[in-house]
Amino acid sequence: MTKTITIAIAGKGGTGKTTVAALLISLLSQKGLVLAVDADPSTNLNQALGLPLDENRTVGRIREKMTEDVSKGRLSPTIPKQEYLFGKIVESLAESKGFDLLAMGRPEGPGCYCASNEFLRASLDKLVKDYKYDYVVMDCEAGMEHISRQTTRDVDVLLIMSDPTMKGVTTAARMKELIGELRTKVGEVGLIINRVKGELSPEIKKAIDESGLQVIALIPEDPNMAGLEMKGKPVTELPQESPLRSKVKEIVESLRL
């Protein structure tokens, strides 16, 4: 693979975007090397993937410490700040078979100076280039403006998650409208409706049509999920024939990833 494919998954909380992101990462890691980016401050992607995470090694904590060190003169002027940040980001990677996980953690606070954000964007892009990742999969927070703050990379595929409710579809439609305001270029956009029971209501079908969003998958309620969640097991332990895993496989095939 010559070009790194960047996939972002967005949606309001509770729609299952982290679950779908984890399954995508698991499947794509069988095809190439994946950089998994947990861009949601709640940092749940590692649990879905079955990886431990040191909260003190998120990118947010690294950036906060660098900002503090710079303001208090603790960072030697002989150390290039970009080089320092990149080294710390590499150290923070949680490695697994076929993929590395980078947890963004908390977004920048009011005291965070702009240069550190520029360093962060450059560091992420350098990471992808140096490590020659085939895929970047970003599990995003509810809003999408942070995509431009965290990377200068174009997004090849944006998957917007919704549940089968009017509120979910309305939120998804609003996200689609916000794409034009991003500094990031976005290629293909698709809507995934999760936890579908039976047919979608006529009202929801109409709302989807009016939004202009293309539905790429209707994922049925998966009875296997409740058992995994009760036991605290990662979603990657879903049976191969489970409805959820099967649908995510179909998404990978339909998007030719």
Residue with the bigger pLDDT between 22 and 72: it is: 22
- CB-CB contact of 22 with 85 (8 Å): no
Cβ neighbours of 120 (radius 10 Å): 25
Total-model pTM: 0.91
What's the distance, CA 144 to chain centroid?
11
Higher-confidence residue of 127 and 145: namely 127
Is residue 115 scored above 60 in pLDDT? Answer: no
pLDDT digits (tens, 9 = 90+) for 216-240: 999 999 999 999 999 999 999 999 9
Residue found by looking up tokens 């097991």 in the block = 233
Coil, strand, or helix at residue 217?
strand
Copy the structure tokens of residue 200: 């979608």
The predicted pLDDT at position 199 comes to 92
Domain segments of the chain as ranges: 5-254
What pLDDT score was predicted for residue 117? 62
Tell me the percentage of the chain whose pLDDT exceeds 70: 91
Q: What is the pLDDT of residue 108?
A: 61
Query: Which pair of structure tokens corresponds to residue 174?
Result: 């609003």
| CATH 3.40.50.300 correct for 5-254 | yes
Amino acid of residue 135: Y
What are 161's strand-pairing partners? 11, 192
Q: In this structure, what token pair is assigned to residue 233?
A: 């097991």
Is residue 33 packed enough to be buried (19+ CB in 10 Å), middle (13-18) or exposed (0-12)? middle
User: Lowest mean pLDDT: which of 103-107, 137-141, 145-149, 197-201?
Assistant: 145-149
Q: How far apart are CA 66 and CA 155, in angstroms?
A: 28
Bridge partners of 34, per DSSP, are 99, 135
Q: What is the pLDDT of residue 57?
A: 83
Name the more confident of 44 and 122: 44
pLDDT at residue number 113: 46
